[in-house]
């Protein structure tokens, strides 16, 4: 099942956004893995985003990672939303991972919120995040968590979207260049 969200329906006074956000079915994740999704991940790593990979990230490795995400989507563990630009290319993605423990079924984790560098500055990250948050609330998740590199541009996005910093861990993860960086943990009740 694929649900599409047309941008800016509540602001008819503004020009319609060309990016369309859609929840991807597992088969769609598989179909987009070798090109669009892999390209988003490679672009994020090339741009310095600390998203679990070291540079240089090969497209084949990124595609393999997304193929594994398709399997998680098939099992109902992870949901994936993608933003499509006017030419149909993927401009952004976000995933929502459900907790797998019996005592954690009320929570999920926002993971891999990526916006292509060419599509930044249009509010796309916020719209992708809002889509995942709305779905989480609609499906019974009341608490969301995420982590991001401390002092990264993403922190501004999360704070602006009502997320609360829970704490910072020094030297938590290496950035794409291999340098250890602090990570800030965030939560939001939805």
Q: Are 115 and 82 in contact (CB under 8 A)?
A: no
Query: Hey, how many other C-beta atoms are within 10 angstroms of the C-beta on 65?
Result: 17
Res 57: pLDDT: 98
DSSP-assigned letter for residue 117? G
Position 3 pLDDT exceeds 90: no
pLDDT in tens, 60-84: 999 999 999 999 999 999 999 999 9
**Beta-sheet pairing, 164-174 with 143-149:** unpaired
Of 97, 92, 79, the residue nearest 43 (C-alpha): 92
Residue 45 corresponds to which tokens in the numbers above?
């790593």
Mean pLDDT of all residues in the chain?
Answer: 93
3-state secondary structure of 163: coil
pLDDT at residue 15, rounded to an integer: 53
Give residue-wise pLDDT tens across range 149-189. 999 999 999 999 999 999 999 999 999 999 999 999 999 99
CB 20 within 8 A of CB 11: no
Q: What is the pTM of this model?
A: 0.90
**What phi and psi values does residue 7 have, to the nearest 5 degrees?**
-75, 150
């Amino acid at each position: 099942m694929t649900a599409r969200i047309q941008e800016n329906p509540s602001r008819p006074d503004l020009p319609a956004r060309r990016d369309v956000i859609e929840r991807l079915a597992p088969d769609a994740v598989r179909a987009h893995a070798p090109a669009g999704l892999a390209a988003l991940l490679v672009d994020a790593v090339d741009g310095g985003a600390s998203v679990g990979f070291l540079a240089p990230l090969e497209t084949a490795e990124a595609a393999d990672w997304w193929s594994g995400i398709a399997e998680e989507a098939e099992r109902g563990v992870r949901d994936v939303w993608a933003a499509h630009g006017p030419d149909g290319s993927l401009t952004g993605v976000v995933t929502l991972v459900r907790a797998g423990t019996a005592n954690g079924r009320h929570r999920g984790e926002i993971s891999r919120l990526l916006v292509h560098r060419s599509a930044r500055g249009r509010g796309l990250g916020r719209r992708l995040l809002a889509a995942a948050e709305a779905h989480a609330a609609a499906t019974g998740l009341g608490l969301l968590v995420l982590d991001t590199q401390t002092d990264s541009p993403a922190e501004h996005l999360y704070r602006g979207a009502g997320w609360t910093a829970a704490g910072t861990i020094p030297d938590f993860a290496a950035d794409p260049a291999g340098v250890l960086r602090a990570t800030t943990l965030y939560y939001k009740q939805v």
